[in-house]
C-alpha cells in the first residue's frame, strides 16, 4: 500500500510545479510591464488556511535598516491567505525596569497579534534590543500544536535551527513559506533555511502594498 503522507507530499510538489509553469506561460506576454506588488506574493497555496509565526529577533534585525509595518504585513497576508492567527514571539528581560519594546508588544496585542514572550538569558550588547536568546524552540512547538487546524505556515525567521521543525511540518503534509527581505534593505534568509522551505516570499512588496 502507498504511504498516505508520501502521496500527499508528491501531490503538493506536482501542484507547485504546475503552478509555476502556469505563471511562466501567462507572464510571457507581459514581460515588459512592471510587476505589481501583489504579483510578487502569488503562491501555489493562495487562500489556503495558514498560521503566521514571527520571530521577534528577526523582525528587530530588519527594523535596524527599515521600518517593519505590521499593518501592511497583516493586510498583505490576508489578501493572499486565510490567516488563522498572527503570533509574534519576543525576548523580554526578566526584570522590566526599562524595556522600550513593551509599547510595541502591547500595541500588537491590541491590534490582533498573539504575543508570546520568553525571558532572555542575559543582556547582549550586539543585539538590537540588547537581549540574548533563541526563539526557535517556542516557534517550533507552536507550529506543531497548530498542525491540525491549518494547511500551512508562514514563518518570518532567519534561524537555521528551524530547519528540523520545517521538515517535521512537511512530513505532516503542511507547506511552509518563509518571509525574507532583500539583500540591500534587510537580512536575507539563511541558505539552508531557504532550501528547506516550500516557498519564499519577498518582504519588500508587502511593505509597499
Band of residue 37 on the pLDDT scale cut at 50, 70, 90: very low
Tell me which residue of 12, 73, 74 sits closest to 44, measured CA to CA: 12
Q: How far apart are CA 22 and CA 192, in angstroms?
A: 27
CATH superfamily of 35-208: 5'-nuclease (3.40.50.1010)
- C-alpha grid cell for residue 100? 522600550
Tell me which residue of 179, 157, 148, 153 sits closest to 167, measured CA to CA: 153
pTM: 0.75
Q: How far apart are CA 122 and CA 130, in angstroms?
A: 9
pLDDT-above-90 percentage for the chain: 43
- Higher local confidence (pLDDT), 77 or 131: 77
- Higher local confidence (pLDDT), 64 or 9: 64
pLDDT winner (highest mean) among 25-29, 41-45, 109-113: 109-113
- C-alpha grid cell for residue 182? 532583500
Amino acid at each position: 500500500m502507498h504511504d498516505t503522507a508520501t502521496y500527499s507530499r508528491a501531490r503538493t510538489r506536482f501542484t507547485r510545479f504546475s503552478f509555476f509553469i502556469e505563471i511562466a506561460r501567462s507572464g510571457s506576454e507581459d514581460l515588459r510591464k512592471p510587476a505589481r506588488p501583489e504579483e510578487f506574493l502569488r503562491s501555489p497555496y493562495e487562500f489556503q488556511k495558514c498560521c503566521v509565526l514571527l520571530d521577534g529577533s528577526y523582525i528587530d534585525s530588519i527594523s535596524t535598516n527599515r521600518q517593519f509595518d505590521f499593518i501592511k504585513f497583516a493586510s498583505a497576508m490576508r489578501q493572499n491567505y486565510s490567516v488563522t492567527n498572527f503570533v509574534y514571539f519576543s525576548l523580554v528581560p526578566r526584570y522590566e525596569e526599562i524595556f522600550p519594546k513593551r509599547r510595541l508588544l502591547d500595541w500588537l496585542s491590541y491590534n490582533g497579534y498573539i504575543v508570546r514572550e520568553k525571558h532572555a538569558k542575559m543582556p547582549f550588547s550586539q543585539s538590537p534590543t540588547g537581549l540574548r536568546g533563541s526563539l526557535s524552540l517556542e516557534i517550533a512547538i507552536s507550529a506543531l500544536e497548530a498542525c491540525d487546524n491549518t494547511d500551512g505556515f508562514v514563518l518570518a525567521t532567519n534561524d537555521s535551527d528551524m530547519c528540523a521543525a520545517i521538515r517535521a511540518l512537511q512530513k505532516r503534509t503542511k507547506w511552509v513559506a518563509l518571509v525574507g527581505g532583500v539583500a540591500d534593505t534587510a537580512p536575507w534568509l539563511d541558505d539552508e533555511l531557504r532550501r528547506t522551505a516550500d516557498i519564499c516570499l519577498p518582504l519588500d512588496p508587502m511593505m509597499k502594498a
